[in-house]
Amino acid sequence: MKKKITLNLTFFTWASHMTNSSTLIVMIGLPARGKTYMSKKLTRYLNWIGVPTKVFNLGEYRREAVQSYKSYDFFRHDNAEAMKIRKQCAIIALQDVKTYLNEEGGQIAVFFVESICDDPDVIAENIMDVKVSSPDYPERHRERVMEDFLKRIECYKVTYQPLDPDQHDRDRSFIQVINVGQRFLVNRVQDYIQSKIVYYLMNIHVHTHSIYLCRHGESEHNIQGLIGGDSGLSNRGKEFARALRGFVESHKLVDLKVWTSQLKRTIQTAEALGVPYEQWKILNEIDAGVCEEMSYDMIKHMYPDEYAMRDQDKYHYRYPGGESYQDLVQRLEPVIMELERQGNVLVICHQAVMRCLLAYFLDKSADDLPYLKCPLHVVLKLTPVAYGCKVDMFDLKVEAVNTHRNRPLVTTFL
């Protein structure tokens, strides 16, 4: 499996079964242009779709080499001592990148991502949102941070060399992201993964919004301990649907979009809201194949080998005639793209689907994903912040069965 790296010059690297070469993704741009933001999101996305990716951030190397940052003077091009330190940090970072990539060997493709921004309001907002809380500024004094960081940007402008699409860099593979996604320039995309990177970067929009995730109300199959199927809501499930309407109304969610699967239990939950909703087939629950509408005890009795294999590797295990969590992640990729583009959205879905969506936003590993707790009758509010995601949980206080199965303590051997 080949690797991808992001350098936040940022560097990052990745490996994948999808190609036979590693890719070095080089983030370039002046400070406060969103390079770290984009690299962290891109890394999270690539890891989520099964492409092992690691970030090598030059800012972190510099902070480790220089424990206390004093002022923008450190970034002056005529500060010989500081320039020596910064060059050494870049060399160490590249050595670490080389070590990471050499674990796989083979050819290395280079893809540049340049963030260009000349909008002073966007730059100022980025400084206030992100740089004030940076380790470089422990005192958190907003006015002083703004003044110092703007001077730091001027220092970088002296030596910064942007990509030249028309002459020197016309044969390179790159994307230029202009004014946080107002325009894009894409040049010589070479392979599948580069096209995935471009597609993702063209879909992430920097705007304030929240994503609300919940499962359908408790269903009849939930009460019976059966997986899959297309049963309707139980009485408590209907009570949750009414409580969910009260939640939406009390939070005054403006222009809220509501998405459901095409299964009865999510549709019945949404209908109680009294607002328009969209049905997405790709939001349907994981397909359990021959095990649909069976309990886990029934599966253990009728298909003991399948039961044991699923406990050994729940993420990659595929039900006979059905899906694995890995399949489900691939199915849900268009949903992630739309959630990145939209405003406030309420997604009424299913346990496995909610786990996959949560794993993306919370940067959870494939190993942890199938065991994320997504109880019935609870709403999760996800609000993207600078370099992560803020989570608020709302228990709507309607009783329901517990459908969570813990990770096996001891692996079952066949």
**Active site (catalytic) residues:** 216, 285
How far the first Cα of the chain sits from its last, in Å, is 27
Torsion of CA 281, 284, 289, 295, to 10 degrees: -160
DSSP alpha helices (H): ranges in 74-191? Answer: 80-102, 120-129, 142-159
Strands 3-7 and 378-385: unpaired
Longest dimension (CA), the chain: 75
CA–CA gap between residue 67 and residue 412 (Å, rounded): 49
Q: Annotated binding site for substrate, which residues?
A: 215-222, 265
Q: In the Cβ-directed half-sphere of 284, how many Cα atoms lie within 13 Å?
A: 15
CA–CA gap between residue 252 and residue 302 (Å, rounded): 49
H or E element that contains 327 = helix 325-341
On whether the CB atoms of residues 366 and 326 are closer than 8 A, the answer is yes
Both tokens of residue 8?
């936040």
Chain centroid offset of residue 322 CA = 26
CA–CA gap between residue 48 and residue 30 (Å, rounded): 28
